[in-house]
Amino acid sequence: MATWFECKISYDKTQDNGSARHVSEVYIIDALSFTEAEARIIEERRPFISGDFSVSAVKRTKIAEISWNEGGDKWYMVKVGFITVDEKSGLEKRTASLTLVQATDFKDAVANFEAFMKGSLGDYDIISIAETPVMDVYKMKVVD
Cα 27 from Cα 133, distance rounded (Å) = 9
Cα 57 from Cα 55, distance rounded (Å) = 6
Cβ contact 94:82 at 8 Å: yes
Cα 111 from Cα 113, distance rounded (Å) = 5
Cα 61 from Cα 6, distance rounded (Å) = 6
E strand or H helix that includes residue 41: helix 34-45
Q: What is the model's pLDDT at position 121?
A: 85
Q: What is the model's pLDDT at position 141?
A: 77
**Residue 32: DSSP 8-state:** S
Q: What is the model's pLDDT at position 144?
A: 62
Three-class SS string for 83-125? EEECCCCCCEEEEEEEEEEEECCHHHHHHHHHHHHCCCCCEEE
Per-residue pLDDT of the chain (144 residues; tens, 9 = 90+): 789 999 999 999 888 898 989 999 999 999 999 999 999 999 999 999 988 999 999 999 999 999 999 999 999 999 999 998 888 888 989 999 999 999 999 999 999 999 999 988 889 999 999 999 999 999 987 766
Cα 76 from Cα 45, distance rounded (Å) = 22
Q: What is the model's pLDDT at position 80?
A: 97
